[in-house]
Structure 1
Amino acid sequence: MEHNISKHISGRFNEELENVRNHVLSMGGLVEQQLNLALEAIAENDADKARKVSETDYRVNAMEVQIDEECTRIIAKRQPAASDLRLVVAIAKTIADLERIGDEAERIGKVALDSFTKDQQDLLVNLENMGRQVSKMLHDVLDSFARMDARRAFEVHKEDVKIDREYEALTRQIMTYMMEDPRSIPKIMDLIWSVRSLERIGDRCQNIAEYVIYFVNGKDIRHTSQEDIEKSL
């Protein structure tokens, strides 16, 4: 269900809440660029792009601080209740997860600073494939946040199961490679951490989907089965 925010928020400070929500979307767009740039850096073995990912991180951190201050100011000034308060809480939690996604993207980008042998390229290709799935998940959850669409958020929420499967399969593949070539372990460990970072980004996207559902339906669905979540929509 797509939610009409203008009907959901009291008119007095609708504009303030819309502004802060738009700032969240700008931050989300920057984090999405950061992740895509990190994946491009790996695919193209481009150290310059990897460094740009790190350089962007300070902007993401600054946006989190700014938006957090806006949320604090709204709570102090307006003392929002009910759905208004739910939106402010959802925003505050979302920016915390977005900031952490930016941190994970920075870690992923650092892989591009390493050089890999030809027989290690298959591992990189699989990492990129998983990365593209996670990137789509991030894009879709930001879209659900923009629309405050609980149904779309739920579809993103379900995607995390696939990401977890990819994580397990790729981790096994990398561990097998290291056992066959122990000399590769120091370098390949960077790949392990990157795969772990992608899995964590999937978890963060799932969190944001939960915040959207929380705002729209007023229900905290953490630790709730997929079947029960769907019944509540």
Structure 2
Amino acid sequence: MDNMNLNKHISGQFNAELEGVRNQVMSMGGLVEQQLNDAIDTVHDQNLEIARRVVERDVKVNSLEVSIDEECTRMIAKRQPAASDLRLIIAIIKTIADLERIGDEAKQIAHMVIDNANKTQPPLVSIENMGRNVVKMLHNSLDAFARMDVEAAVKIHESDKRVNREYESVVRELMTFMMEDPRSIPNVLKVLWAARAMERVGDRCKNICEYIIYFVKGKDVRHIGSDNLQSILDE
């Protein structure tokens, strides 16, 4: 086999490895999305069986992160990637870390449902609405990651402002509820932590969008602010 054919073989094999890892990321993302969706469902229907299942499945999310991270480390050591290949692997490593943390947030929400079962707590309609929005944000972020769509990433990044406003509104509602009924404070605090977990999911989705921009454009946009992201598309 001559050198040209050997190089093609190695490149093709590396591409297959990269594609395999991307598929694993999407599988992990699908599981995390299901975890978050189930957790939000339990806020509405108070299904303790599903809430417990969310808590139990978090182990699988953690295992996937470790497995993908190890595969990425192996590729870096073996293939010594450069340019866009290296950016893709770095983006994957960062993305799975955020997905794992979103899984933790889903578990936190499920724990709130379990701990507050049959106890006095505030109306949860606002929290449910906020939860539906972060589920949609996660779904769109994963879709943008699958396509490495920078335009979509910028739009999703911007949508986190809505989640932040909803969180601030929920906090005000919960503070009012605690002042009106001080006996509810322990349970309301757990609801507040669940709302904070949802707000953090929005932040994690923003991070994933930033990794997409980093891979496609080769620019680290973590600290430039949402208002300046649109200019990245024009470069």
TM-score range, shorter chain: over 0.9
1:1-40 matches, within 5 Å, as 11-40=12-41
Matched to 2:202, the amino acid is G
CA distance in 2, matches of 1:206, 1:119: 31
| 1:76 equivalent in structure 2 | 77
CA distance in 2, matches of 1:109, 1:119: 15
CA distance in 2, matches of 1:68, 1:150: 24
| 1:167 equivalent in structure 2 | 167
| 2:108 equivalent in structure 1 | 107
| 1:7 equivalent in structure 2 | none
Q: Deviations over 1:53-90 (max 9, x none)?
A: 01110000000000000000000000000100000000
SS of 2:117 mapped into structure 1: coil
| 1:223 equivalent in structure 2 | 223
Q: Relative to structure 2, which stretch is displaced further, 220-229 or 210-219?
A: 220-229
Q: Gapped runs of 5+ residues in structure 2?
A: 1-10
CA distance in 1, matches of 2:194, 2:227: 31
Q: Relative to structure 2, which stretch is displaced further, 221-230 or 143-152?
A: 221-230
| 2:52 equivalent in structure 1 | 51
| 1:214 equivalent in structure 2 | 214
How many angstroms does 1:228 deviate by? 2.2
Q: Deviations over 1:157-195 (max 9, x none)?
A: 001111111111100110111011100001111100000
How many angstroms does 1:232 deviate by? 1.1
Q: Which runs of 4+ in 1 moved over 4 A?
A: 116-119
CA distance in 1, matches of 2:117, 2:69: 39
How many angstroms does 1:112 deviate by? 1.8
Kindly indicate whether residue 176 of structure 2 is the aligned counterpart of residue 176 of structure 1: yes
SS of 2:229 mapped into structure 1: helix
SS of 1:191 mapped into structure 2: helix
Change (3 A) 1:116 1:128: farther
Asked if 1 retains the 8 angstrom alpha-carbon contact of 2:40 and 2:109, the reply is yes
Matched to 1:98, the amino acid is L
Matched to 1:168, the amino acid is E
Matched to 2:77, the amino acid is A
CA distance in 2, matches of 1:192, 1:179: 14
Aligned pair count reads: 222
CA distance in 2, matches of 1:213, 1:230: 11
CA distance in 1, matches of 2:107, 2:13: 40
- The percentage of aligned residue pairs carrying the same residue is 58
| 2:5 equivalent in structure 1 | none
Change (3 A) 1:66 1:119: closer
| 1:87 equivalent in structure 2 | 88
Q: How much is the aligned-residue C-alpha RMSD, in angstroms?
A: 1.3
Q: Gapped runs of 5+ residues in structure 1?
A: 1-9
